[in-house]
Amino acid sequence: MNNRFPKWGTVFFMALRTGHLDEIERKIYSRNILIPEVGEAGQVKLLDSRVLVIGLGGLGSPALYYLAASGIGKIGIADHDRVDLSNLQRQILHGHRDVGRQKTQSAAESIARLRTDIRLDIHPFKITSENARDIIAGYDFVVEATDSFESKFLVNDACVELRKPYSHAGVLGTFGQTMTVVPGEGPCFRCVFGEAPAGGVVESTAEAGVLGCVAGVLGSLQAAEAVKYLLGCGRLLVGRLLTFDALAMTFREIQLPPAGRCGICGPQ
Ligand SMILES: [Zn+2]
């Protein structure tokens, strides 16, 4: 079972597409195609799109499932971690039998149950300042679904430098937040949150916990932002931070300051 996917590299489940929908694709994506903002042309766009999901945990699980189900043609999955028992309450890509396995492996198998025609790029290592730009450069949109401030700033800086749009989200306890960064069109994560706090200053999910379904809500919103960006429709969360409070069951929108307030996307 563990040998079904290569540890690293690209998995083709089917031959490359030809640029138009075949009969089976029309059936699979019929409920997408009925939406005026998608249509057949939009579905072809999604099938020709490349999205990178960084982090295959509580946020990455729903984001990856919905991106794959929506018909994104090529998805990169990046995570260096292995599945732990304490992950299963929210990281729905992975099951009990996956404990101890690489998250990229169990995620690839979960997605293979959903799609036979997807192209998956497997990055089973930590995203660092050395490799981030090389990896991110190959995608149209990035879903930042990491769980540390260090990774969030790293992904932000690489995306802004490469002018790659991406979705940020974070969850803790019964709260969540998300914003979309389109370099040149709005503020980046660093414009809003400044510098990464010193270790131990901010609580992590390992200390404060997180309700699994809260991560499910935020990860699904990230997938929606990716799909909207790729289709070129709707209003993205650019310049707006959306917060979610599951106890009060309220969403709040916070208007963000303009871009250019940090050392990454500023004039320097
Ligand atoms: Zn900035």
Q: Cβ distance 170 to 219 under 8 Å?
A: no
CA distances from 40 to 29, 125, 224, 244 (A): 9, 36, 18, 33
Q: pLDDT at position 195, please?
A: 81
Q: How far is the CA of 263 from the centre of ligand 1 (A)?
A: 7
CB burial class (10 A; 0-12, 13-18, 19+) of residue 267?
exposed
Q: How far is the CA of 186 from the centre of ligand 1 (A)?
A: 8
**Helix, strand, coil fractions of the chain, as percent rounded to 5:** 35, 20, 45
Backbone φ and ψ of 12, nearest 5°? -100, 120
Q: Cβ distance 132 to 86 under 8 Å?
A: no
Q: How far is the CA of 206 from the centre of ligand 1 (A)?
A: 28
Angstrom distance (rounded) from CA 153 to CA 54: 13
User: H/E element holding 77?
Assistant: strand 74-78
Q: How far is the CA of 259 from the centre of ligand 1 (A)?
A: 6
Pick from 59, 72, 99: nearest CA to 211: 59
Q: How far is the CA of 43 from the centre of ligand 1 (A)?
A: 32
Q: pLDDT at position 260, please?
A: 87
Q: How far is the CA of 140 from the centre of ligand 1 (A)?
A: 20
Q: How far is the CA of 236 from the centre of ligand 1 (A)?
A: 17
Tokens 């306890």, residue located: 173
Sheet of strand 119-123: strand arrangement: 9-12, 119-123, 74-78, 50-54, 141-144, 166-172, 175-181, 240-245, 250-255
Q: How far is the CA of 157 from the centre of ligand 1 (A)?
A: 8
> Residue 130 is encoded by which pair of tokens?
């050395």
Q: pLDDT at position 11, please?
A: 63
- pTM for this structure? 0.93
Q: How far is the CA of 188 from the centre of ligand 1 (A)?
A: 4
CB burial class (10 A; 0-12, 13-18, 19+) of residue 90?
buried
Q: pLDDT at position 59, please?
A: 98
State the fold for domain 9-255: Rossmann fold (3.40.50)
Q: How far is the CA of 167 from the centre of ligand 1 (A)?
A: 14
pLDDT along the chain (268 residues), means of 10: 54 60 96 98 98 98 98 98 97 98 98 95 97 98 96 97 97 97 96 79 80 98 98 98 98 94 80
